[in-house]
Homo-oligomer: A and B are copies of this chain.
Amino acid sequence: MNNPFMARAIELAIRNVREGGGPFGAVVVREQRIISEGVNRVTFTNDPTAHAEMMAIREACRKLDRFELSGCEIYCSCEPCPMCFGGVYWARLDRVYFGCAAIDAANAGFDDSFIYSEITAPLSQRQIPLIQMERDAALEAFRAWENSPNKTPY
Contact = CB atoms under 8 A, between A and B. Distances in A.
Contact of A137 (B1, B140, B150): B1
Interface centre among A54, A61, A82, A88 (most CB of B within 10 A): A82
A55 B23 CA distance: 24
Interface string A115-147: 110111000000011111111011111101110
Interface residues of A, number: 92
Interface of A: 1-3, 6-7, 9-10, 13-14, 17-18, 20, 22-25, 42-43, 45-49, 51, 54, 57-58, 61-62, 65-69, 77-79, 81-101, 104-105, 107-109, 114-116, 118-120, 128-135, 137-142, 144-146, 148, 150-154
